Amino acid sequence: MPELPEVETVRQGLNQLTLGQEILGGDVLLARTIAHPLFVEDFLTGLKGKTLAQWHRRGKYLLAELDDLQGTRGKGQGARGIEQSPSSSLKLSTQHSGLSAQGTGWLGVHLRMTGQLLWLDQDTPLQKHTRVRLFFAGNRELRFVDQRTFGQMWWVPPLSNPQEIITGLKLLGAEPFSAEFDLEYFVSKLARRQRPIKTALLDQSIVAGVGNIYADEALFKAGIRPETLCANLSRQQIERLHDAVIQVLQASIAAGGTTFSNFLNVQGINGNYAGVAWVYNRAGQPCRVCSTPLERLKLAGRSSHFCPQCQE
């Protein structure tokens, strides 16, 4: 599943290529991809004539502010509390939402396990698993390809709050690059929890956007075994892990994300982080630090990769 760095890589690409582009129409090839509204025709009608004003990311969700053709969206409306840092990572206000109702609506996307958003010429042959096409001037289109069909798209109507339509947004915890994700927040979320730390890191209500890949990577950098109970972690260990989460996410964004199976950026290019991963998907290979063979175990049905020597 694409995680925060992959979704952030897609967001950056969309902001480079699609801003100011008017949606001229579209085609929905798999109706269940559209999570809202109920009817595909309403989804396409709601988007037609709107331009893409700005793409944002919340956890693993992509959200595009829509503008009308004349660019008359009211000043001060849109994604209040959101700013783009020099590293193009999303920062949020101290409130979890960071998103508000605005006059021209939103387009929401969740890639789930195998979703891809590709910016292509309309005459590019359709991939077998193409689900949604949005058409733009210059014979261009934004194509949503999804092999496993778990991905979703939403049109959020004008003056509607995205959280009321895309309800998963309400469940998200702090963004790793936000001021909210400080050490005290992290300690409070982990203290006295009788659950493995790896499982806690996958809980989107604690840290938004972290998944299996970067949980393994962060635990390695922090020197913590994945099965260690949260309640048994010292403050010093939690501090190391807090820093490690941020560091591995930043490193992967710089590498364009990770491609192990399906992930591609909007121009169809693989991510490069897999080549430098510390432990993820490297069971049996030598640790990059101590050369001990890496191991794998199952926690809550998910594979965890670790070094038995470097991680306590």
Residues classed as catalytic: 2-3, 60, 302
Q: Which two tokens stand for residue 211?
A: 């998944």
The SS3 call for residue 95 is: coil
Q: Which two tokens stand for residue 256?
A: 């364009």
Among 222, 236, 260, 2, residue whose Cα is nearest residue 112: 2
Class of residue 38 by CB neighbours under 10 A (exposed 0-12, middle 13-18, buried 19+): exposed
The SS3 call for residue 312 is: coil
Query: How many Å apart are CA 54 and CA 231, to the nearest integer?
Result: 41
The SS3 call for residue 245 is: helix
In the block, tokens 């075994």 appear at 225
String of DSSP letters for 6-27: HHHHHHHHHHHHSTT-B--EEE
> How far separated are the first and last CA of the chain, in Å rounded?
28
Query: How many Å apart are CA 156 and CA 80, to the nearest integer?
Result: 16
Query: How many Å apart are CA 191 and CA 122, to the nearest integer?
Result: 52
CA 189 to chain centre: 21
Query: How many Å apart are CA 58 and CA 64, to the nearest integer?
Result: 11
Asked whether the beta carbons of 174 and 247 are under 8 A apart, the reply is no
Query: How many Å apart are CA 233 and CA 146, to the nearest integer?
Result: 39
Question: Cα-flanking dihedrals φ and ψ of residue 187, to 5°?
Answer: -60, -45
Among 6, 108, 97, 92, residue whose Cα is nearest residue 47: 108
